[in-house]
Structure formats: C-alpha cells, structure tokens
Amino acid sequence: MSDDNSLVGKVFLITGASRGIGAAIARQALEAGAKVVLTARESSTQLLHEVASFTHERVGQALVLAGDINDDNFQHQLVKTAIERFGRIDVFVSNAGVVHFADLQHTTEEVLDYHLKTNFYSAVSLTQRIVPHIHSGGSIIYITTSITNGGFPMLAAYAASKGALKCFMQCMAVELAPQGIAVNAVAPGPTQTEMWPRALPKDALEHMGGKILPRLLTGEFGDPQLVASTVLHMAKTPTIRGQEILIDSGYTIS
C-alpha cells in the first residue's frame, strides 16, 4: 500500500461498483484506507461482496447496498444508510452506466430513455441527495466517455447521455465551488471491461475491436486500474476543478 495516507478514513460512495472500472475504483479506495459504500443492481450482489471482501487484508471498510440506482426509494435508502453508518460522504463516484448499440433509425425514444435514465438522470438525482452531506474538501467524480470527444457509429444515444453528464459536471464545478466541493469527470476510451462484451455479439465485438485497436497509440486496450488511479488522484487533488480527463490510449487524437 502507498505511504500516502490522504484517503485514509475518507468515505466513498461508488455506483456500478460490482465489476470493471467501478470495482477497480472500489478496491483501490479500500487499499488506500477509505470507507467505501459500494452499490450496483441486485443481480450483482455476489460480485459486490467479492469486491468488499478485499477489505479483509486491507485497512479500509466496506458497506454493500444492492438495488436499482434508477429507483428513488433505493437512492433515498442508499444515502440514508451511508450517512447512518459513516456520518458523511467525502467522495461520490458516479460510475453506473448502460450501453445499447443502435443505428439512427433504431435510436427510438425508448432507447434514448434507457440511456438517459441510468447514465444521466440517476447521476443528477443522486448528486442532489448526496451534496448536502459532502463537506468542504469533498469531491464528485463522474465517469463519462471519450466518445463525446470524437463520436462513434451506433452509439449516439450512449454518447448523448454521457455528453449531458459532462455538461452537468462542468456546471456543478462552478455551482458547488463556494461549498468547497471539487467536481470533475474521467472519460475512459476503449477499456478492458465486461460492459462491451455484454452489449455486443462476439463477431460484432471482434469486428469493432479490429477497427479500434490500430488507433490505440499504446497498442492495447485500456486497463481499469489506470482509470481507477486517476479517479483517486482527482479525489485528493482539490485544485482540479471542472475537468474531464481523457484516458483513451490516444484514440481520440489518432
């Protein structure tokens, strides 16, 4: 574990924490000695407990709360339980997200609502609930996407929902600054997570990977651990404000 103790005892609330980037953030926060509230859908309860078990050999503390992040009652219970257990929230990481591939003609109102509900609306409403419990020096970090900086076919609804979140982040960075709350975003590019394999058939995934890989200046897909490291760095750096940090292996500029 690092000698940096700046996150010891800090209270994190992380959505979408059962796998991929969210799980990596949770594990690194626990390793840093933080108290971490992990949440994801109920079908991922076992995965959440596996992430939380990381505390057995570390100094952090974990609280697992599974449920639908789009449900108002669950959001209320999530924040209420976190405050009852830890007394405050220092860092809110909004990572929960969904993706569905659809071309223009199939980007229906239903598809748009599907993305906006989880990727944007739930992040906004949870922010509203959490901010009263964040003291000066706290941090809010939204996980967006590099696609909002370049575009990608079949992902218009996904990109639009994350683009809305990016704009919301920038406004909150200004609005919440007087309260001493730092608000930022991290925008991963192509990253080795289960999100994309779950969203695409194997042949389509291989085809897409074949088009993306040549544009990655590192020669490989991103590592969730690197995204997590960036999130933790932002959580302890109050001078970073209103920024979206791209971690896309050079995809956007290539």
Q: What is the pTM of this model?
A: 0.93
Q: Is 146 a catalytic residue?
A: yes
| AA identity, residue 132 | P
Choose, from 162, 166, 249, 251, the residue flagged as catalytic.
162
Q: Is 158 a catalytic residue?
A: yes
Burial class (CB in 10 A: 0-12, 13-18, 19+), 205: middle
The predicted pLDDT at position 201 comes to 63
Q: Is 35 a catalytic residue?
A: no
Domain ranges of the chain: 11-247
Choose, from 18, 44, 146, 161, the residue flagged as catalytic.
146
DSSP, res 179: G
Choose, from 158, 161, 166, 251, the residue flagged as catalytic.
158
The predicted pLDDT at position 249 comes to 83
Q: Running along the chain, 254 residues long, what does each successive block of 10 average in pLDDT?
A: 79 96 96 96 89 71 96 98 98 96 96 98 99 98 94 92 98 99 94 69 68 80 92 97 92 81
The predicted pLDDT at position 42 comes to 86
Sign of the four-CA dihedral 15, 20, 23, 24: negative
Please report which helix (H) or strand (E) contains residue 80, including its range. Answer: helix 72-86
Burial class (CB in 10 A: 0-12, 13-18, 19+), 193: buried
Residues β-bridged to residue 61: 35
The predicted pLDDT at position 219 comes to 78
Nearest CA-CA partner of 16 in 92, 76, 124:
92
The predicted pLDDT at position 1 comes to 44
* Chain center to CA of 74: 18
CA distance 15 to 130: 13
Name the CATH topology of 11-247. Rossmann fold (3.40.50)
The predicted pLDDT at position 195 comes to 66
Residues 66 and 81 sit within 8 Å (Cβ to Cβ): no
What backbone torsions phi and psi does residue 62 show, to the nearest 5 degrees? Answer: -125, 145
